Amino acid sequence: MSLMPHSPALDAAKIHWRPLEGFSGFTYSVLAVDAERGTTDFVVRYEADSRIFLHRHRADTLTVVMAGEHRIYAPDGRLEDARPAGAFAFTPADADPHTEGGGAAGAVVFYSTRGGADGVIFDIMDEAGQVVGALGLADVAGLFELQGGKPGA
């Protein structure tokens, strides 16, 4: 078994945070993509007291809150969960739609996705809960290429 060389500690201050065109409330950086296995790893930095677009996870997703507070909201805007730094959560594919964002000081959250029907990681939804777009494995691979294939770059 070949092991990937380890990297230095992930320092959010040294990450090159990138906006995702057409969306607000967060920036991201891709850490790894394995198209053959259908996996992605990335970090998201949520702005303070932010809420992003309504979406549904189409791939199994593991999250670890690295800094701040990660908030999860129901489609009606009700706060469902507030996860402090160090919290770990698993969201199975096709879980209920939700929005998420940062607490009073924002949040930095690590995401690891596994699988996803037809390569789709997230369904993007409008306020009525209708699917209006998707973010897939190929999209994240393209974002990683824009970083020069370098984690956090």
Rg (CA), the chain: 15
Q: What is the pLDDT of residue 80?
A: 97
Whether 69 contacts 83, CB under 8 Å:
yes
Domains in the chain, start-ordered, CATH in brackets? Answer: 14-146 (2.60.120.10)
Q: How far apart are CA 9 and CA 61, in angstroms?
A: 22
C-alpha to C-alpha distance for 28 and 60, rounded to whole angstroms = 19
| pLDDT number for residue 3 | 55
Tokens of 26: 């967060």
Q: Is the pLDDT of residue 96 over 70?
A: yes
In the DSSP assignment, the letter for residue 65 is: E
Q: Report DSSP letters for 76-133, one per residue.
A: TS-EEEEEETT-EEEE-TT---BEEEEEEEEEEEEEEEE--GGGEEEEEE-TTS-EEE
- 141 pLDDT band (50/70/90 cuts)? very high
For 96-110, what is the mean pLDDT? 97
pLDDT, one tens digit per residue, over 15-56 is 899 999 999 999 999 999 999 999 999 999 999 999 999 999
Q: What is the mean pLDDT of residues 68-85?
A: 97
The pair of three-digit structure tokens given for residue 25, joined into one six-digit string? 């409330």
Which SS3 state, helix, strand or coil, does residue 100 take? strand
Q: How far from 29 is each of 60, 107, 128, 141, CA to CA, in Å?
A: 19, 14, 29, 12
Residue-wise pLDDT for 105-127, tens only, equals 999 999 999 988 889 999 999 99
Does the model's pTM come out above 0.85?
yes
Please give the Cα distance from 135 to 120 (Å, whole number): 6
pLDDT of residue 1: 46
User: Is 111 or 6 the better-scoring residue by pLDDT?
Assistant: 111
Rounded CA separation 92/113 (Å) = 10
User: CA 12, 79, 93, 108: dihedral to nearest 10 degrees?
Assistant: 0
